[in-house]
Structure 1
Amino acid sequence: MSAPSHDLDLLHPTLAHHIVNTLGWPGLRPLQREALAPLAEGQDAVLLAPTAGGKTEAAVFPLLSAMAGGWGPGVSLIYVCPIKALLNNLLPRLQAYAGWMGRSVGLWHGDVAASARQRLLRERPDVLLTTPESLEAMLVSTKVDHYELFGRVRAAVVDEVHAFAGDDRGWHLLSVLERLTRLRGAPIQRVGLSATVGNPAELLTWLQGSGASARPGRVVSPEAPPAVVEPADDATAVAPPPGDVELDYVGSLDNAATVVSALHAGEKRLVFCDSRRVVEQLGAGLRARGVTTFLSHASLSVDERRRAEEAFADARDCVIVATSTLELGIDVGDLDRVIQIDAPGSVASFLQRIGRTGRRAETVRNCLFLTLTEDGLLKAAGLLHLWGRHRVEPITPTPEPRHIVAQQLLALCLQEFEVGERLWPEWWPGLEPFGHGEPIVAHLLAEGFVERDGGMLMIGPEAERRFGHRHFMELTSVFTAPPEFTVLHGRTEIGRANPALLASREEGAGPRRLLLAGRSWAVTWVDWKRSRCFVEPADDGGTARWESTGHTGVSFDLARAQRDVLLGADPPVRSTKRAAAALAQARERHADRVHPDGTVVTRDAGGDLRWWTWAGTKANLTLRATLSTGVDPVQRPNDRRLRLQESVEPAGWAALRESAVDRIALPEVDRKALAGLKFNAALPDHLAERTLAARLADVHGARCVLQEPTRFVVDTADR
């Protein structure tokens, strides 16, 4: 079989041969064709396509061809993923592709055995699959010659780059890539892979880091600037196709289990929930109804998740219930249906999830929303309304990541043993967070996190005390996780549980019972010192609960979309009679709380004033801080409203809002919240507080609200 020259002539002939004859492809997909030229020319790029759109091959094929064209031995390509399961899933595929070219692939992450890591250091692969945390661990390890390991890196592929860019792991990744660039002594090509996002050009600029401006030493064609590659066919993936999305209102999780068990018999269904507790409860409910059910979430053991995912991939008439752990590109085989409990937090997330279906030629993408409450119904309807308007949220990097600067300075001292006190900026030249690092360096010196000797900086005793446990493993990741107990049945690890469930028990209530992996367990013994508990199977009665982390409420756009729905906008999907009736009731209930031209203030029979902004949690927190003389300072705002002080009246309120437009304040930070900011101890208190305040704020949303007129509606029922 011969390959079309217009598809494959930029690839190495050996690779082109295997694409046609081993994979059986007649040619490349649009994304793969359009990515060939910019990647072959060494350009930074972001490749956009829906789930299963061939992004991995679009990046790897031209880079393997470049590798065959003269890249030397050793690690020359790094492939970074946000989760270990995705790396495990990709490994055999990339091993096959690299093997065709006589190249090797290695895997390094937290679950890889020490013996395999030692072998990788002895027999360095050409392609390294890893996470940012494992890259950091290698850089700071005394057992790794990081100059030898990383000194030949030519390119880095960042899979699911949007998942990194929206939180602190993104800044960590960029900082590590800058250090790798300095180790190599030349630019490293950066390629991001993403589903559809609202601001791909800005995402590419962010990914380039200090290389967003011209970098010396890069030999590229002047006609080929850094590229956003999104074929026209893939760009339409955000558009709502007819008839494949349905909105239902079922009223409870028990009813949702009944609906899932009754629908689509004989098909493979993936159900997304946005909390581990709901995954456990729904999984148990489905099993009680005789449905073959598998579970996947972050607090299940690695083996438990892997067994579930492998069994699900091979089964047909079954359901897997998962959090966003299966939103990313892990292969779970041919999927017939996606079901969403309530709503994900963004259109981008919804596109990832619906993209799991419709991969076979005779099928279409589909998703059934089962909403449990009025809030869930409104969020789902609002999200689908945004989708109907082709609105995908922009990816916004977390603001003011000063704690990442502190972490990186400490990590660099570990990596290099000593760093010139005036030379450290050269490791992150032009990377935005490091432009104001001097106060952080001064604090690290003053508090003993680093020491100065002869103009050189090195790790100090305070860093040893706070972060030195297990060879500074705490310094390798920038996120915190609540403490959890390992749950063991004999020698088999089931997963991890909230210690609060083990500490609380009513007198005479019998053994504590946990719900984990979709089954109830009776706790037989708790090893408090080692954070372990031992369990035996129980018939029922288990409880699931975990601490929520990182939830910042509904965005401004999604809150406003809910207001649009209450004002009569219908999302472009099928709605069941139950959903239509529940939505009609919601519209009636909120009739005096929404207005198309601005916000509404209501006074209920008890005298409380409620300001219905429909602006999202962050904007409302920002408004409370800005309008301190008019907003109740005690009651925390929610996504939709704030409580005002009883003295507010229409004329004074208009003047107060007008005067506040140009003096918007950041939300106040609860001192206890600083514990959730990792490495906050390595920052001066005022800088740690400002970092958190910036992350709680939505200045744009708050300003929009302040500039809108407000209607006062008095003597309404408090509903």
Structure 2
Amino acid sequence: MTGAPEPLDRLHPGLVHHIVNTLGWPELRPLQEEAIEPLLDGSDAVLLAPTAGGKTEAASFPLLSKMAQENWTGTSVLYVCPLKALLNNLLPRLETYTSWLGRTAALWHGDVSQPRRKRILRDRPDVLLTTPESLEAMLVSTNVDHRAFFSGLQAIVVDEVHAFAGDDRGWHLLAVLERLQRVVGRPVQRIGLSATVGNPDHLLTWLQGSGSGHRAARVVAPHLREASPVLPPPGDIQVDYVGSLENAATVITALHRGEKRLVFCESRRQVEKLGQSLRAKGVTTFLSHASLSVDERRRAEEAFTEARDCVIVSTSTLELGIDVGDLDRVIQVDAPASVASFLQRLGRTGRRSGSIRNCLFLTIDEDGLIAAAALLLLWSRGWVEPVVAPPEPRHIVAQQVLALCLQEHRVGDRLWQEWWGGLGPFGASAEPIVRHLIEEGFLDRDGGMLFIGPEAERRFGYRHFMDLTAVFTAAPEFTVLSGRTEIGTTNPALLTEEVVGPRRLLLAGQSWQVTYIDWSRRRCFVEPVDGGGKARWGGAGSGRTASYELTRAAREVLLGADPPVTLTGRARTALAQARESSSELVHPDGTVVVRGGRDTNVRWWTWAGYRANATLTATLTTIADPLQRPTDTCIRLREDATPAEWRKVTSEAADQLCLPAVDARALNGLKFNAALPTRLAEATLAARLADLDGATAALREPTRFTALGQ
């Protein structure tokens, strides 16, 4: 590395020696080089790069150098990830890097054994890899002296920070980091690692929390300096229309034999059905999704890594940085939910020298074809979704106040806000939530001190308040076992619905016949059979909704815009048919109100996305049909609506938007909603269902009426 740039000279010489001689790297990547100076100088930072861009090394090399140069002691670096599997995958690499300087790394999450945890508490590792939930569990545990354990903490690395920031796990992470920083008693450097996002500066401000505006901060993203997006050649991104999941299996079987293929599906049910079809066609197939047991997924991922001519079918569980070896192809069934997800998946390929990034879309219906074309249209323009934290996380505030009282045993009723340093929703606006917690017995107050009350004990006290620290839990499912081997989990509805003949499940790509159900322990025992199994889950992949931007791009596609990728003959034919059948629903100069057409209803085709349409439905109560569920593309109006009435109602609506109504049953999906006043729980959900900007844009567009009033 003779003549290396000045920043490289600041790394510890022992580390540079191993980079050159052990890793065999002639030089660092641009991101790794540019991260050295700000990280060594103590700045907070977000490091952006495409998948496999070397972000882990960009963060760890400067921090390990600083650890050696400043003689940090104890657990001085936390490495936080959203997935346990990602932590498991990273541990060997970080153990190697720390060992070069005589330091150590260790893993702490829910699957780590008690003996191993005791060793970690006794001999603190220099780098600890963990999840936010496990970190909070350490703060509230009576077995961990958190002040002593974290006394040497200097820096926190948040991997896949964009995956946190866009949902409530991000608010939970920020709140836990603020509490941890107060325990440590000094500011702690924060470094986020992220794939490309549309608003990196905003993401960095978010990550800094209460330190925003008070600490030096920098976005490091060399690839964003390029004047235009670098796209793979058009032939390497292809869109095909296959018409069914079974046909997708036929195409996957016929194409790219002898290669390693990763297939993404948008639901667990699709993964199971496609996996079963591929195996029936003689393809070596492995599966990965959240309802498969940890051991089942690990076996599949290890076998896939070692094999060659094979397929692994997965939901988004393999979207993040988990290493599944050297891939040849990525195949996408229909379209992912976002451009950001597509970038993550595309980045799984092209890692081998001489190989290129590629993705084949196999769309199984018209909606999937249009969604894929719309997504690729936005991607071709270099557009990526901004990461925005969900508004008004009152349920997380309630959980955090309870967790703080559990951590500290007693907290001053005037001092609790200080633990979050004035961070947004944890400041003065949280006062009504704390009053409610006291009034309902979740908290007790005595002598100006707050502590855990009987209602919190009753609702969350199971197994040392484990349910309080497990902020995000899946819907209750039954564990499926074959003998003593856990296969995964299934929806209870499959075990209770009426069936003719034996009850059969589809799980891990295999049909199973139910032999016994242990209702009290939520366990289901099965044995393998040849076929007939059914798969069903709720949650991700069921009833997805599109954003304003993606829905608008779909409108562009129907108006004739083609993404600059390869469309097969089948895709072009199906797209032409979709454009023909939708010609009365789209117009280049604005929105369309149509009476008749596909049905007898009057519909306003806004092409504004689900949340904007839900906002419009709530706002236009005198003209919108109250008995409807808005879609991404349109809302239903009253059958007797006239153009004059429509214009009158909408003329001033943009200045009087209403939040969508909330179904009381939806509150059950908001964990800790029981610790909130009902009106605040409903207000939280309503704010998250709304898109005020999208609704305003739709209202201000010109509108064309077809057959209305005739």
Aligned-residue offset at 1:651: 2.2
- For the residue of structure 2 that corresponds to 1:356, the secondary structure is coil
Amino acid at match of 2:83: I
Q: How far does the alpha carbon of each residue in 1:27-72 deviate from its partner, in whole angstroms, 9 at most, with x for none?
A: 1000000100000100000000011000000000000111112243
Within 2, Cα distance between the matches of 1:689 and 1:552? 21
Hey, what does 2:199 align to over in structure 1? 199
Q: How does 1:535-550 map to 2 (within 5 A)?
A: 535-549=526-540
Partner residue, 1:528: 519
Q: CA deviation at 1:2?
A: 5.8
Two-structure CA RMSD over aligned residues (Å): 1.5
Q: Does 1:681 align with 2:681?
A: no
1:689-708 to 2 correspondences below 5 Å = 689-708=682-701
Match of 2:371 among 374, 379, 399: 379
Q: Give the 3 Å change call, closer, same or farther, for CA 312–70 of structure 1 in structure 2.
A: same
Q: Does 1:424 align with 2:413?
A: no
CA displacement at 1:168 relative to structure 2 = 0.3
- Structure 1 position 335 matched with structure 2 position 327: yes
- In the alignment, structure 1 residue 287 sits paired with structure 2 residue 283: no
Aligned partners of 1:153 and 1:184 also within 8 Å? yes
| 1:112 aligned counterpart, secondary structure | coil
Is 1:585 aligned to 2:593, yes or no?
A: no
Q: Does 1:497 align with 2:490?
A: yes
Aligned counterpart, 1:411: 403
Within 1, Cα distance between the matches of 2:681 and 2:292?
A: 33
Deviation, 1:426, is 0.7
State the match for 1:28 in structure 2.
28
Pair 554,52 (structure 1): closer, same or farther in 2 beyond 3 Å: same
Letter in 1 for 2:436: H
1:455 equivalenced with 2:456 (yes/no): no
Structure 1: distance between partners of 2:591 and 2:709:
16
Question: What's 1:189 paired with?
Answer: 189
Query: Displacement of 1:656 after TM fit?
Result: 1.4
Unaligned runs of 5+ in 1: 216-224
CA distance in 2, matches of 1:518, 1:128: 36
- Following superposition, the deviation at residue 236 of structure 1 comes to 7.5
Give the aligned residue type for 2:534: T
**Residue 658 of structure 2 aligns to a residue in which SS?**
coil
Matched, 1:232 2:223: yes
Paired-residue identity, %? 69
What's the counterpart of residue 552 of structure 2? 560
Render the CA deviation track for 1:518-556: whole Å, top value 9, x for unaligned: 000011100000000111000000100001259651000
In the alignment, residue 248 of structure 1 is paired with which amino acid?
D
- Please say which of residues 5-14 and 265-274 is displaced more in the overlay: 5-14
In structure 2, the partner of 1:480 is 473
Q: 1:631 and 2:624 equivalent?
A: yes
Assess if the C-alpha contact under 8 Å between 1:31 and 1:231 holds in 2.
yes
Name the SS for the 2:10 alignment partner. coil
For residues 545-596 of structure 1, give each alpha carbon's deviation from its aligned partner in whole angstroms, at most 9, with x where no partner exists.
Answer: 0012596510000000000000000011000000000000000000010012
Whichever residue aligns with residue 256 of structure 1, its letter is A
Per-residue CA shift, 1:624-646, capped at 9, x if unaligned? Answer: 00111111111111111111012
Aligned equivalent of 2:179: 179
Residues 337-358 of structure 1: CA deviation (Å, up to 9, x unaligned):
0000000011010000000001
Partner of 2:148: 148
User: Any idea what SS the aligned residue of 1:42 has?
Assistant: coil
Alignment equivalent of 2:295, drawn from 297, 303, 313:
303
**Is this contact kept in 1: 2:15–2:61, CA < 8 A?**
yes
Q: Give the C-alpha shift of residue 647 in structure 1.
A: 2.5
Residue 657 of structure 1, CA deviation: 1.2
What is the match of residue 713 of structure 1?
A: 706
Aligned with 1:591: secondary structure?
coil
CA separation of 1:532/1:234 partners in 2, compared to 1, >3 Å: closer, same or farther?
A: farther
* Structure 1 residues 664-715: Cα deviation after superposition (integer angstroms, max 9, x where no partner): 1100000110000000011111110000001111111001001111111117
Could you say which residue in structure 1 is the equivalent of 2:652?
659
Q: CA deviation at 1:475?
A: 1.2
Cα distance in 1 between the residues matched to 2:640 and 2:231: 47
Report how many aligned residue pairs link the two structures.
706
CA distance in 1 between counterparts of 2:544 and 2:277 reads 29
Q: CA deviation at 1:241?
A: 2.1
Partner in structure 2 of residue 116 of structure 1:
116
SS at match of 2:564: coil
Shift of 1:7: 5.7
Letter of the aligned partner of 1:196 in structure 2?
Answer: T
1:480 deviates by: 3.1
- Kindly provide the amino acid, as one letter, of the partner of residue 402 in structure 1: R
Deviation for aligned residue 1:237: 9.2
Match of 1:398 in 2: 390
Find the aligned partners of 1:238 and 1:689 in 2 and give their Cα distance: 41
User: 3-state SS of the aligned residue for 1:544?
Assistant: coil
Amino acid at match of 2:55: K
Please give the TM-score of this superposition, normalised by the length of structure 1.
0.96
Secondary structure of 1:136's aligned partner: helix
Give the equivalent residue in structure 2 for 1:222. none
SS in 1 for 2:707: strand
* Counterparts in 2 of 1:574 and 1:365: CA distance versus 1, 3 Å: same
Given that 1:239 and 1:387 are in contact with CA atoms closer than 8 Å, whether structure 2 keeps it comes out as no
From 425, 441, 444, the counterpart of 2:434: 441
Q: What is residue 158 of structure 2 aligned with on the other side?
A: 158
1:603 alignment counterpart: 595
What SS does structure 1 have at the residue aligned with 2:652? helix
SS of the residue corresponding to residue 178 of structure 1 reads helix
Match of 2:353 among 356, 361, 366: 361
Please say which of residues 149-158 and 199-208 is displaced more in the overlay.
149-158
**CA separation of 1:300/1:716 partners in 2, compared to 1, >3 Å: closer, same or farther?**
farther
Aligned to 2:98: 98
- Whole-Å Cα distance in 2 between the matches of residues 129 and 89 of structure 1? 11
TM-score (ref. length: structure 2) = 0.98
Q: 1:459 to 1:233 in 2, by over 3 A?
A: closer
1:407-463 residue CA offsets vs partner (Å, 9 max, x unmatched): 000000000000000001110012111121100110000000000011000000000
Q: Distance in 1 between matches of 2:600 and 2:565?
A: 40
| 1:518 equivalent in alignment to 2:509 | yes
Q: CA deviation at 1:234?
A: 8.1
Residue 220 of structure 1 is matched in structure 2 by none
In structure 1, what is the Cα distance between the partners aligned to 2:385 and 2:47?
17
Contact 1:49 1:234 in 2 (8 A): no
Instruction: Summarize the Cα distance change of 1:4–1:577 in structure 2 as closer, same or farther, 3 Å threshold.
Output: same
> Which SS does the other structure have where 2:626 is aligned?
coil
In 2, are the aligned partners of 1:238 and 1:351 still within 8 Å (CA)?
Answer: no
Contact 2:51 2:347 in 1 (8 A): yes
How far did 1:233 drift? 6.9
Runs (4 or more) in structure 1 with deviation over 4 Å come to 233-238, 549-552
> Which range moves more in the overlay, 12-21 or 548-557?
548-557
* Per-residue Cα deviation, 1:471-491 (whole angstroms, up to 9, x for no partner): 111111322311111111111
- Which secondary structure state, in structure 2, belongs to the residue aligned with residue 138 of structure 1? helix
User: What is the rounded CA distance, in whole Å, between the counterparts of 2:709 and 2:133 in structure 1?
Assistant: 54
Equivalent in the alignment of 1:17: 17
Distance in 2, Cα, partners of 1:536 & 1:7: 60
Question: Are residues 1:671 and 2:664 paired?
Answer: yes
- Cα distance in 1, alignment partners of residues 639 and 169 from structure 2: 44
Deviation at 1:4, TM superposition (A): 2.9
Measured against aligned partners, the alpha-carbon deviations of 1:362-405 in whole angstroms (never above 9, x if no partner) come to 11100000000101011001000111111111001011001111
Task: Report if the CA contact (8 A) 1:49-1:235 is conserved.
Answer: no
8 A Cα contact 1:3 1:26, kept in partner: no
